[in-house]
Structure 1
Amino acid sequence: MSPLGVAALGAVAGLTIFLGLPIGRLRSNAVGLKAALNALATGILIFLLWDVLSQAWDPVDKALSSHQIGPALGQGLLMAACIGLGLLSLTYVDRYMKRRALALASPIRPPAGPDGAAGTHGGPHAGTHGAHPAHGTQPAPHGAPAVGTATGVAIVAATEVESRAGARRLALTIAIGIGLHNFAEGLAIGTAAAQGELAFAILLIVGFGLHNATEGFGIVAPLSGTRPSWGYLALLGLIGGGPTFLGTVIGQSFSSDIVSIAFLGLAAGSILYVVIELLAVARRTGMKTLVAWCIFAGIVAGFATDAIVTAGGA
């Protein structure tokens, strides 16, 4: 098969991630359904974290088995550094994005009075006629909306905006983590094809394609009930699945354990961050039994797809 044909199959393997994306368009806002979807995605990502860490550690393990302490130490340190970079960078980026979103959706403040103070009327006699003037305020005109009510509504609106923005950020983070992982998988496909192991490369494509179908669901689970646009879902699919194609193209002409370890380490760190976030979401639902069962189901689904690939000889 020509390099172009292998690259095309790599693209197909990556684009199967789109099969799970339509779930993100579910209309239901039922708390139980959202808790189940998030927990199922958590289980899939826990399996994926184990899978990524196993692949990243494999070259280190082989070097240690051959008593190559220097290379093993260097690869191990690289793996640790990339895991830390993937985890901590997303932590700080998310903190910045939350602060920015809250600032943009800040509650409505009372109008400033003549003296520049919010909600005050600092006339020359302010503070001289009892308790109310002491605060420099005047009763609202009949029929005018109460400032407290307007502020309360604005706070609720800001909370809803931040909730939706948080769901979009989490879905994007999942897509980035899976994309890094899929780039490393693409490298494996391209390397196998370049070494003449075409049957093995095709088997990898089928197996990774099956994996990606479940990963697409994991990406959009936080978006259930928010009705994201098809364009945004397509963007998430390209971020998560597109790197498989890029990795396949690059892997046919270039292969390096160092590069593979670096991308797998970054993927592991970002996936670990997402798992932490999803577990926090699961705890807030208060549905411990449902969450436990769905996490278990997600882990089983991950191992089941991996078992199919292994049984096929990969």
Structure 2
Amino acid sequence: MAEHTEAHSDSRLPAWLSWVGVVAVIAIVLTTLGLLGGRALPDRVGPPVEEVAVEHAVLTEGRIALTVRNTGPDPVTIAQVFVNDAYVDVRGGEEAIGRMRSATLDLDYPWQDGQPYLISMLTSTGLVIEHEIPVAVTTPRPGASFYGLMALLGIYVGVIPVLLGMLLLPVLRRSGFGALRLLLALTVGLLAFLAVDGTMEGWELAQEADGAFGGAQLVVFGAVAAFLALTAVDRFLRGRREQGEPGTGPRLALMIAIGIGLHNLGEGLAIGSAYAVGELALGAFLVLGFAVHNTTEGVAIVAPLVRQRASIPTLLLLGLIAGAPAIIGAVVGASVNNAELSALLLGIGVGAIAQVIVQIAPALRADGRDRADATVLGGVIAGILVMYVTGLLVSA
């Protein structure tokens, strides 16, 4: 009997080979359906469905270049282009633009700095597709000075404020256990405000996006992906802790730094994009506003380290993890200026912060209590209020 069972098990195909076979059959059927199934169906009745999204606008002296993408099911041909109801000469778009393909329309138009413009694209079927430029400014040209300016802006609004907030660690260490719980509750309030603020910015950018690769879906996808990714990171760090690595405090501080860093990546992207299209005026008040606003993020990072030792290099590394992504975001945002990318990154920041809040929540409970007490609720409210008040200083 045992020999029969062993022989039977040896005759089975490996599990991975069974998976490959099933996936191959599904792929063959779907490919065949896609190639042959459409021929059995009648043609669509009615006019073509034409949808065009403007992905990027580059303004140079006397010219406007639009990168457009066909997001509809049918080819689109741009027949004429008008700027503020005035016909303009255009190069590009003469050939039909296939589904999900892009083309560049080069408009010969003497635009004036600081003026709004409405661009109307007339397709070959008579459909009018409009794109608005609220404020016309010369598109910055990538170069050493340009990238240097964006990097400096990211340092001002990201790295320096976070490190300044972390300087409060020696003062916080003199507090008692109740004050520590209050500080963690304050951290939850700070992070909750960042999550809500990032969600609102993400939805706003999703509405501006024309939907070539999704709008609000990108915010949701980014949030879910970041939440699951940070959950995996947390499980990995917990496993290392069981093998003798640093305990809960450093792990939680690292998680907070990663979450804030992903949020600052999206924030830097929004700042860079706003600067590229002339919607951001750089100045001392703007830098000071972001500095005060983001200093509270440094406090959130060091809160779990109040009862544990941390070396200066470790603190500097945590500060760079949280603040340096603002540099990357500012450079990418000013260079690419894509609303869909901004919405995705803001969603990633929201998901990361939500996961960090989940990590902090168990530490807010007092001994012998399952619910948050008045101290915790007051700390959360205070954190939200602090972020709201400091956010009023930001004029971006």
Map Cα deviations across residues 107-135 of structure 1 (whole Å, 9 max, x no partner).
xxxxxxxxxxxxxxxxxxxxxxxxxxxxx
Out of 163, 177, 195, the residue aligned to residue 49 of structure 1 is 195
Q: Distance in 2 between matches of 1:255 and 1:166?
A: 39
SS at match of 2:307: coil
Once superposed, what is the RMSD of the aligned Cα atoms?
A: 2.5
Whether the 8 Å contact between 1:13 and 1:208 is mirrored in structure 2 is yes
Whether the 8 Å contact between 2:206 and 2:340 is mirrored in structure 1 is no
SS at match of 1:225: coil
Whether the 8 Å contact between 1:43 and 1:299 is mirrored in structure 2 is yes
Whether the 8 Å contact between 1:24 and 1:225 is mirrored in structure 2 is no
SS at match of 1:252: helix
- Matched with 1:60 is 206
Q: Distance in 1 between matches of 2:354 and 2:233?
A: 15
Letter in 2 for 1:53: T
- Matched with 2:375 is 290
Task: Between 256-265 and 294-303, report the one with greater CA deviation.
Answer: 256-265
Out of 238, 242, 253, the residue aligned to residue 98 of structure 1 is 238
Which has the larger share of strand? 2
Aligned pairs, how many?
A: 247
Relative to structure 1, the CA distance from residue 73 to residue 245 in structure 2 (aligned partners, 3 Å threshold; closer, same or farther) is closer
Relative to structure 1, the CA distance from residue 299 to residue 262 in structure 2 (aligned partners, 3 Å threshold; closer, same or farther) is same
In the TM superposition, 1:1-314 aligns within 5 A as 3=146, 4-14=148-158, 15-25=160-170, 26-28=172-174, 30-62=176-208, 71=211, 74-102=214-242, 104-105=243-244, 165-197=247-279, 199=281, 204-285=286-367, 286=369, 288-309=373-394, 313-314=395-396
Q: Distance in 1 between matches of 2:187 and 2:228?
A: 22
Whether the 8 Å contact between 1:52 and 1:268 is mirrored in structure 2 is yes
SS at match of 1:253: helix
* Greater RCO, CA 8 A, separation 6+: 1
Which has the larger share of helix? 1
Q: Distance in 1 between matches of 2:216 and 2:283?
A: 27
Q: Distance in 2 between matches of 1:302 and 1:5?
A: 27
Letter in 1 for 2:388: F
Cα deviation for residue 213 of structure 1 reads 0.6
Cα deviation for residue 49 of structure 1 reads 0.8
Whether the 8 Å contact between 1:17 and 1:237 is mirrored in structure 2 is yes
Relative to structure 1, the CA distance from residue 168 to residue 78 in structure 2 (aligned partners, 3 Å threshold; closer, same or farther) is same
Q: Distance in 1 between matches of 2:362 and 2:233?
A: 18
Letter in 2 for 1:279: A
SS at match of 1:308: coil
Report % sequence identity: 39
Cα deviation for residue 280 of structure 1 reads 1.4
